[in-house]
Structure 1
């Protein structure tokens, strides 16, 4: 119980601190570029047309909505985080690992399967709050107030879209989580087992082994980022807000249709980087309801 409470407090603190970053990221993911690109230099010192980064974008939001404007959707996100932590912990408690060699591949499969079930259950339970969070955020684009509270948002979604509205974008989100988890754990296992020597032999390599999980986790998240992007776009797709409707955004028939269109446009990594954002040549950007080429 004490561990769960500490996880809740820590999770809530990290959620509050990271919320402005997620807010900017979501607006970039849906293609909202309210600031014109400017000339800058890449890491090689060459001049390049760049889109505004995290701080410039956040400053723009503060200019319009004040500092509190950076925390739109925070309440529903905190609810999702707290509920997800509890569900994840309970599912793990209900499943026990067998008495296998911790260094064996079978143990990795068993542990990863257990974690996958816990994460997937938590995601399924909390996804409606995730949908509300995203829709609260993209209201910035059209200056709407349709999603102003958790209860009213639940009523709105159910009235307009039914139960399926709460599950918008769920499938690509689950797929991304599952693939990322398996990639991370299996890569870490093979690196530790077949590339790095036992830590008892080389202390420096032993230190590297302790970081392998974090490194492989980062790589796995990079590879599965398109699932995150598609999931977020589907969560706000055709929801009655300017940011999810034509002519601002396309209406996708399914998440696969969304994936295909983004792939054709070369936008599968949109929003992945919040710094040094190179402006693609010939692209158009929304600029205060106008278009900037």
Structure 2
């Protein structure tokens, strides 16, 4: 439900995992177990490399701005105040916690990535064994709407299952990361986090923010796939020599565009995961105690903050805040 911002394109990001196709490579023979292991390890590596990006993004989402804004001008010459970008923010974290501090909350995310990869792998195998004839006639079906609806429905089901299975890990990771704001040590090891959340909030505590996350990912899938289908079917001319290449990039471009529109769902899900959990980042003055994710959405909308954290560069101070600072 990666990102929407200049660095994380889908991701919900990101929290959306890279989907690797298992094409046959000439001269290379890997059994399914080896292939699963390789993809899990690759996913873990990508997760580790991109973790600092998502860490900074989450701190911006909760409204933590530890560095003073700097004066600048727009391309039209208007004076504005710019908030620190990714590199300045990352240097601040390193200055406080050291280089290892950039990887706070990484373990739950790696485990989440592995579970998601395995769920998708099993689902893909299941789809291939259930309907081999459809695979044989894939060229005849072409870009038919019926095929798109069927594939999107299956993809959405897999996405919902993997999201439900991994959302508790998302909650744990988010709470570990936002402890940077108040310098707390409430959430540390994985098992101690599970025990603490269960004792304080029960089972429901592991699924706070699940609904907007699932809704955002479902809307993303349907909009992206349907838009790509209609553009490829009614806009791209088959007579063009580059038509296949254009079609192959259409879904990628649509994914970037749609992820911007669904970003508020991801923001609300992240804020709900840390709201009223005993950490400074989830309490006033950073955020009121929200009754539901709808209440959170309404509050952000009123404040004009539904896209907070959607970019890492050229972040302007909100007009209301800038006015108060000027006074």
Q: Could you state the TM-score of these two structures normalised by the residue count of structure 1?
A: 0.93
Alpha-carbon offset, residue 39 of structure 1: 1.0
SS of 2:57's equivalent in the other structure is helix
Q: In structure 1, what is the equivalent of residue 197 of structure 2?
A: 157
Deviation at 1:77, TM superposition (A): 0.5
Provide Cα deviations, 1:167-190, integer angstroms capped at 9, x if missing partner. 010000000011001111001101
Partner of 1:10: 42
Does the aligned pair in 2 maintain the 1:169–1:231 contact within 8 Å? yes
> 2:258 is matched with which residue: 213, 220, 224?
220
Q: Is the 1:92–1:118 contact (alpha carbons within 8 Å) kept by the matching residues of 2?
A: no
**Whole-Å Cα distance in 2 between the matches of residues 75 and 149 of structure 1?**
9
- Name 2:227's counterpart in structure 1: 187
Give the Å deviation of 1:247.
3.0
Q: Report the Cα distance in structure 2 between the residues aligned to 1:49 and 1:205, rounded to whole angstroms.
A: 45
**Matched-pair contact (CA < 8 Å) for 1:176–1:225:** yes
**8 A Cα contact 1:24 1:54, kept in partner:** yes
SS at match of 1:283: helix
| Match status 1:173 vs 2:205 | no
Residue in 2 that maps onto 1:34: 66
Shift of residue 113, structure 1, vs aligned partner:
0.7
- Report the Cα offset of residue 283 of structure 1: 1.8
Gaps of 5+ in 2: 1-31
Tell me, which stretches of 5 or more residues in structure 1 are unaligned? 285-290
Q: Distance in 2 between matches of 1:7 and 1:218?
A: 24
Larger RCO (CA within 8 A; separation ≥ 6): 2
Alpha-carbon deviation of 1:292? 6.6
TM-score between the two structures when normalised by the length of structure 2:
0.84
2:321 is the alignment partner of 1:283? yes
How much does 1:93 deviate? 2.4
8 Å CA contact 2:232, 2:247 repeated in 1: yes
* 2:184 equivalent to 1:144: yes
- Find the residue that maps to 2:67 and give its secondary structure: coil
1:252 aligns to 2:319 (yes or no): no
Residue 266 (structure 2) pairs with residue 234 (structure 1)? no
Q: Measure, in 2, the Cα distance between the counterparts of 1:88 and 1:150.
A: 24
Q: How far off its partner does 1:143 sit?
A: 0.3
* 1:287 corresponds to: none
Segments of 4+ in structure 1 off by > 6 A?
Answer: none
Contact 1:102 1:108 in 2 (8 A): no
